[in-house]
Structure 1
Amino acid sequence: MPRKQRSLNQVKEDISFRVLREKLPQEWVVHSYGADYGIDCVVELFDSINNEKKLAETLGENLFIQLKSSDCIEYITRKAYKRGNVAKGGLSEDKNDYVEIQVAKFKLDISDILTVQSMGIAIPVLLVLVDTNSEKAFFVCLNDYIDKVLIPEDPNYASKGSKIIYIPIANEILNQESALIALRAYGKRSKMYGVFSLFNYQLNEIRHMQDMSTISYNMFSKYDAGMIKNFVDIALRQDVWSGHKFWKPMEWSYNELLVVKEELNQGIENEDYQPSLIYCPSQVWHRLNNLSNMYEELVREWFLPTYLAMLTSYPSKNDSSEP
């Protein structure tokens, strides 16, 4: 009988897991799946909680990984044309305005793509491609790639057997804080969609309260202030504000909530009540609710091989804190 054998694909798979593990912070945990049903592993994000970095706690954030490897990756330059917002309509490109992006090509089975598409957009699934020769690892978010690149460029992609995925080589996974911004941002995605729903609910309730207050001012004034205070406390408890900053609008909204909280704690005089009631929904909660729109149009296009992504995704030389 033949002895147990080990294929080249198994060797490459082991290399890819080792490379991914080495590229991530040591406190992050890589949970490997068993049989391959489209997701190979889940990365759980942790942060150190003492200066000696001897203890870390989970952030409650996870990245789903589709891990691929190759020893013959083709690296090319891809033109990305300026285009209209594909979230609002079909693909419309300006062939006279483009950027050139260095990418790695990888052919992905449609079954893998459809599996990711069926998971929705709230759970980030990253395609991580490991070059087994150079032992470099590159990523692209498949959820976003499907909606922002694949479908606009090929609406009938599902009828194909496979599709070429273009992964920007600028998306190299490195254990450096500036290079981990993207992974941290994706890790917060499910939390982000949770607060988007919360802010929408709160805005609708404040608008309803505002409509009612025009009918009977005295009846609703104390109740209104109490409800807004409760909404502020609930909003500030959300974990999206803490940790590593990756998007300025979140910081601005957080600071606005702190201002509202301080004003409520100091008490609102009768003559200031109505202006305060108008200010909350028209300014603070309007911007909170608009975060979801900006997230869809801007953030979901970060780190893709697109024109807009090249302008907005990567830290400048003078700012290594966020895209």
Structure 2
Amino acid sequence: MTKYQDENQLKGRFGELLSAFAFPPEWVVRPIQHDYGLDLEIEVFHAVPSGDGRQKYQTWGEHFYLQVKTTDNIILGSYDKNSQESDVIKFNMEVSELHLVEAMGASVPVILFVVDRAKLQVFYVCLNDYISKVLAPSNPAWRSQKTVTLYLPMRNQIKVSDESFDPSSHWGYFGRIARRSKIYSAANLAHHYSTELNYALVDLDHADSNPDAFHLAASRFLEKADQYAHEISELDIWRRTNLEWGAVEEFRDTLTTLKDRISRLKERLGTVPRVGGDEFDDAAFHFLGRVGFMRGVFTSLSTIGRLYEQVGRLERLPGDDPFSL
């Protein structure tokens, strides 16, 4: 039997091939064989030092997905938010495809690539973020529709055929998107450990009238804090890269402060008297105050998730993009 291809198959394959050229050559682009809404998987690779003089690239387990749509008719428009207009392209998309992205959750990024086959240009937007930050607030009933119109900022444009075009800023964004699950993981772990230390702090507070019990509870508290800080510091999110989200540097400094504070508290515990009396009461009171403040540093680490939700996920969306180029 003779096999045929239709125009839609040719358009789809063209879009996927062109999309693959939108990324650094060391990144791995994998076609998804059984396509149920996701077309390509992207794995980010980072340049690492090499002793033999040859450039090498290493994977750190950072991935995201692409949904590729190819068109010969890009529709230009404008997007108005807070009386500020921005240039966009308008693209109609089936709601059933957005349901899949929403079901995957925010920590698994799915990027929509709209490929202009005529001009060899690619426009993109993160669908997870668009649904949460743009579509749902502006159109709460979108789930009951068959299709919705998406607005992709013109600044999210990759000119694959333009040799003078510098795509590095786009690559930086995709690299940050790929690290998203690590940000959420760090926030979740820091929040969990902050809660655990709160329980340990209650035990320590109840022991402040007995020197032996106080020293035992304080030692256990600091042992836990030291263990928790070590585990958080081992997370891969703190590995330095030119693709990272800028706020990570501040939280990296917070983690350094935390580890230093734990070390100082261990030394300070040795100055708390082991016999009762006014001297013990005063020392225990001041120690508890410092310990409580130190636990607050764990809490501040957990806010990386909230900050990313409030600010980080707005990057490259239409409207109020705090990172607009």
Query: 1:43, 1:62 within 8 Å by CA — same for their partners in 2?
Result: yes
Q: Which residue of 1 aligns with 2:218?
A: 221
Structure 1 residues 268 and 173: CA distance shift in structure 2, 3 A: farther
For residues 164 and 35 of structure 1, the distance between their equivalents in structure 2, rounded to whole angstroms, comes to 26
Q: Which moved more, 1:194-203 or 1:170-179?
A: 170-179
* Alpha-carbon contact 1:184-1:244 (below 8 Å) kept: no
Which residue, 115, 120, 132 being the options, matches 1:135? 120
Aligned to 2:324: 314
Q: Which residue of 1 aligns with 2:174?
A: 183
Deviations 1:134-189 (A, max 9, x none): 21112111111111111222222122111111111211247633222221111011
Normalization by structure 1: what TM-score? 0.84
Bigger CA radius of gyration? 2
Give the corresponding residue for 2:294: 280
AA partner of residue 323 (structure 2): S
Match of 1:163 in 2: 148
Aligned residue identity for 2:172? I
Structure 1 pair 157–263 and aligned structure 2 pair: CA distance change class (3 A) = closer
- What is the match of residue 190 of structure 2? 199
Unaligned runs of 5+ residues in structure 2 are 160-165, 208-213, 270-282
For 1:9, the aligned partner's letter is N
Q: 2:254 is matched with which residue? A: 256
- Report the Cα offset of residue 218 of structure 1: 2.2
Contact preservation (8 Å) 1:221, 1:273: no
Please say if residues 238 and 252 of structure 2, whose CA atoms lie closer than 8 Å, have aligned partners that are also in contact.
yes
Q: Provide the rounded CA distance (Å) in 2 between the counterparts of 1:7 and 1:101.
A: 36
Residues 27-48 of structure 1: CA distance to partner in whole angstroms, max 9, x if unpaired?
1111101232110111111112
Shift in alpha-carbon separation, 1:220–1:245, aligned structure 2, 3 A: farther
Q: Following the alignment from structure 2 to structure 1, what is the Cα–Cα distance between the partners of residues 72 and 232?
A: 48
Paired amino acid for 2:253? N
Among 227, 231, 245, the residue aligned to 1:230: 227
RMSD: 2.0
Alignment of 1:1-323 (within 5 A): 3-50=2-49, 54-81=55-82, 98-173=83-158, 176-216=167-207, 217-242=214-239, 243-244=241-242, 246-265=244-263, 267-270=266-269, 273-282=287-296, 284-306=297-319, 308-309=320-321, 312-315=322-325
Q: Measure, in 2, the Cα distance between the counterparts of 1:209 and 1:171.
A: 48
1:191-234: CA deviation from partner (whole Å, max 9, x where unpaired): 12211210110110121122221111322111111111111111
Indicate the SS of the match to 1:11: helix
Measured in 1, the distance between the counterparts of 2:76 and 2:251 equals: 41
> How many residue pairs are counted as aligned between the two chains?
294
Q: Is the 8 A contact 2:254 2:301 kept in 1?
A: no
Q: Distance in 1 between matches of 2:89 and 2:182?
A: 30
Structure 2 CA distance, aligned partners of 1:53 and 1:314? 36
Counterpart amino acid of residue 75 in structure 1: L
- TM-fit CA distance, 1:260: 2.7
Q: Which runs of 5+ in 1 are unaligned?
A: 82-97, 316-323
Residue 96 of structure 2 aligns to a residue in which SS? helix
After superposing on structure 2, the runs of 4+ consecutive aligned residues of structure 1 that deviate more than 6 Å are none
**Partners in 1 of 2:263 and 2:139 — Cα distance?**
54
Amino acid at match of 1:225: L
Residue 268 of structure 1: SS of its match in structure 2?
helix
Q: 1:121 and 1:235 mapped to 2: Cα distance?
A: 22
Percent sequence identity over matched residues?
A: 25
Does the 8 Å contact 2:251/2:304 carry over to 1?
no
Instruction: Give the letter aligned to residue 160 of structure 1.
Output: Q
Q: TM-score, normalised by structure 2?
A: 0.84
Preserved CA contact (<8 Å) 2:187 2:304: yes
Q: Which amino acid aligns with 1:314?
A: S
After TM superposition, the structure 1 stretch with the greater mean CA deviation from structure 2, 294-303 or 158-167, is 294-303
Change in Cα spacing, 1:181 to 1:245, as seen in structure 2 (3 Å) is: closer
Q: Is the 8 A contact 1:203 1:285 kept in 2?
A: yes
Task: Report the secondary structure of 1:240's partner residue.
Answer: helix
Contact 2:183/2:304 (<8 A) preserved: no
